[in-house]
A and B are shown apart, each in its own frame.
Chain A
Amino acid sequence: MPKTSDALKRTRGDVPFALVNYVGFLLFALLCAYPFYFLIINSVSANDVSALGDIRLWPEGLHLSNYSQILQLDGLSAAAVVSVARTVIGTACTVLASAFLGYMFTQERMWKRSLWYRLIIFTMYFSAGLIPLYITMKTLGLTNSFWVYILPAIVQPFNIILVKTYVESMPRSLQEAAEIDGAGTIRTFFRIILPNMTPILATVAIFTAVAQWNSFQDTLLYITDQKLYSLQYLLYTYTNQANSLAQAAQNAQGNLGAIVSAATTQTPTSIRMTVAVLVVLPIIFIYPLFQRYFVKGIMLGAVKG
């Protein structure tokens, strides 16, 4: 809004209103941010103090050994590898497929183009349901397979719409020039289209990566093999099952040999907090950097609705 006549327009109600407004937002922002801060300070504080629930505003007995010890936990480093692998491979596959399909569906020469396009888009509004999907995965032998994290997520209708809209807004002459030079459709895609799509692909990539990293339900449904658990799933079991956590704490201790001191001895609280920070840290770092891509993504989505 233009600010030209603000000073003139300021009435008596304005100052209390602004005050309440600022304070209100400040409180809500703190409410959103504090839990993250709480996790972080607890994960770096003395473990005997954090177990009592006494770390509230700042860390006490600062130490980072939780982070090196946590990797000794049974299954944790495997889960970290699974989570990173699904995020990297899954995002790469989805981004490439979205770019390729989004572009191909702008090519009028494709046989029955709009039929295939509709076939894909329709899946946005309809799902056979949880159990039939589960039975399908089982029949295909994808349960307890790493690929269940990747394959079903490759074709994303929403992403294809985003890319297609973007390609349609690119100058037509770009493609035509390439074709006159004798480049085929595929060659044009890799040489001309792909390098010019980076803004939209960044948006697609960031959304896909966050979704892959956060995904929990597919592990819950399709995976019973502990080697394929993701970090999210491990965090859930640690939070919910005190027994498995106490066991994990004991094992971690055993693996380390002699106990060093109460401040660095693993407790259920310290394990829970440290794993939680491990899970959330990538999001906290990445989100502010790429915030504009997130915002752009939702706006583009709104256009198509």
Chain B
Amino acid sequence: MFLVVLPFLVLVLVFSYLPLAGWATAFFDYKPALGLSGSEFVGLQWFRMLVSSPTQLQQIGQVMANTLAMSFLGIATSLLPVFFAMLLNEIRAPWFKNAVQTLTTLPNFISWVLVYMIAFSMFSTSGLVNSVLNDWGLITTPIKFLDTGEHVWLTMLLWSLWKGLGWGAIMYLAAITSIDPALYESARIDGAGRFQLMRYITFPQLMPTYVVLLVLSIANMLNNGMEQYYVFQNAFNKEHIQVLDLYVYNIGITGNSLSMATALGMLKSVISVLLLVTANAIAKRARGTSII
């Protein structure tokens, strides 16, 4: 029985565990053409180089600031899906509720490439918004919404909200339907109005779900992914858009320093696992069950 599972285990080993051997790259001056055996062993040189010169230090600092800023903005807005669900739940007409749900969750299922394409056709200098503003006589020169280094963190947040808010609320909407109706009944008998029901019954009942997701997002602080930032990246916003994952790609693949990128990625992986283990331990102590 083990034998039939074996091919799949081999896949897991090859694609998830074998790459760990690639960490060795971080300790060599890796040249793809020569392979690891032909490359020179340099010890911790790359790790030292990450923090050696003031320019390098400044760059890493900016990348960390971007990474943490995007993560914290995400965490700061993580209550929005809760409110979205609570308010949508107050809508009486089922057809309206369903239509809103379908339309607002749709953006979650398109790729970031497509989101960027939409952003481009709406907000580029020849895009819809600029041409509408121009026709209304509000501007004479097009506003550079995309090719700018200003408000990058904020616009990235807004795009992730556009894409993810509706979908983020789905889980809370389902959680609301599983709240014991007796709670509402007794609160009503006590004279609670609509807002009091929301404030004292619905909201607290959603908190356990919220806390689990919050802890997970704290554990994933360094993992913003690179796709969103890669597609929106350009010469103007590069300084503020480069999060850790994108930076690793940029220096490793585009900039061709595979060893240094591996060193950085390795640090990231280790810290992420430590964060997850810590978050899990805290959740375990607080709720008695582990989240992973």
* Interface residues, chain A, with chain B CB atoms under 8 Å away: 1-2, 5, 9, 11, 13-14, 17-18, 21-22, 24-26, 28-29, 31-33, 35-36, 38-39, 42, 52-54, 56, 97, 100-101, 104, 107, 109-112, 116, 119-120, 123, 125-136, 138, 140, 151-152, 154-155, 185-186, 210, 214-217, 220-221, 232-233, 235-236, 239-240, 269, 272-273, 276, 279-280, 283-284, 287-288, 291, 294-295, 298-299, 302, 305
Cβ-defined contact, A232 with B111, below 8 A: yes
- Chain B residue at minimum C-beta to C-beta distance from A54: B131
**Given A128-B269, A129-B265, A280-B114, residue A109 in contact with residue B11 (CB < 8 A):** no
Cβ-defined contact, A299 with B12, below 8 A: no
Cβ-defined contact, A125 with B276, below 8 A: yes
Cβ-defined contact, B103 with A305, below 8 A: no
Interface 0/1 of B227-260, CB less than 8 Å to A = 1001100000000000001001100110000100
**Shortest distance from the beta carbon of B230 to any chain A beta carbon, whole Å:** 7
A-B contact pairs, 12 of them (CB 8 A): A53-B131, A100-B4, A100-B8, A104-B1, A130-B245, A130-B249, A132-B20, A134-B253, A215-B111, A216-B113, A276-B117, A295-B174
A24 to B111, CA, bound (A): 26
**Given A35-B118, A185-B1, residue A295 in contact with residue B249 (CB < 8 A):** no
Chain A residues near B131: list those with CB within 8 A: 52-54
Cβ-defined contact, A132 with B262, below 8 A: yes
* Interface residues, chain B, with chain A CB atoms under 8 Å away: 1-2, 4-5, 8-9, 11-12, 14-23, 25, 32, 87-92, 96, 99-107, 109-114, 116-118, 120-122, 126-128, 131-132, 162, 165-167, 170-171, 174, 181, 184-185, 188, 193-195, 209, 212, 226-227, 230-231, 245, 248-249, 252-253, 258, 261-262, 265-266, 268-269, 272-273, 276, 291-292
Cβ-defined contact, B19 with A129, below 8 A: yes
A9 to B90, CA, bound (A): 14
Cβ-defined contact, A116 with B5, below 8 A: yes
**Given A1-B184, A129-B269, A305-B291, residue A110 in contact with residue B1 (CB < 8 A):** yes
**Which secondary structure characterizes the binding site on chain A?**
helix
A211 to B264, CA, bound (A): 27
Cβ-defined contact, A2 with B269, below 8 A: no
- Chain B residue at minimum C-beta to C-beta distance from A284: B106
Chain A residues near B25: list those with CB within 8 A: 131-132, 135
Cβ-defined contact, B100 with A130, below 8 A: no
- Chain A residue at minimum C-beta to C-beta distance from B252: A131
Cβ-defined contact, B269 with A155, below 8 A: no
Cβ-defined contact, A283 with B20, below 8 A: no
Cβ-defined contact, A130 with B265, below 8 A: yes
Cβ-defined contact, A236 with B113, below 8 A: yes
Cβ-defined contact, B181 with A1, below 8 A: yes
**Given A1-B181, A120-B12, residue A128 in contact with residue B23 (CB < 8 A):** yes
Cβ-defined contact, B16 with A123, below 8 A: yes
**Shortest distance from the beta carbon of A1 to any chain B beta carbon, whole Å:** 6
A18 to B195, CA, bound (A): 12
Cβ-defined contact, A131 with B262, below 8 A: yes
Chain A residues near B19: list those with CB within 8 A: 128-129, 132-133, 135-136
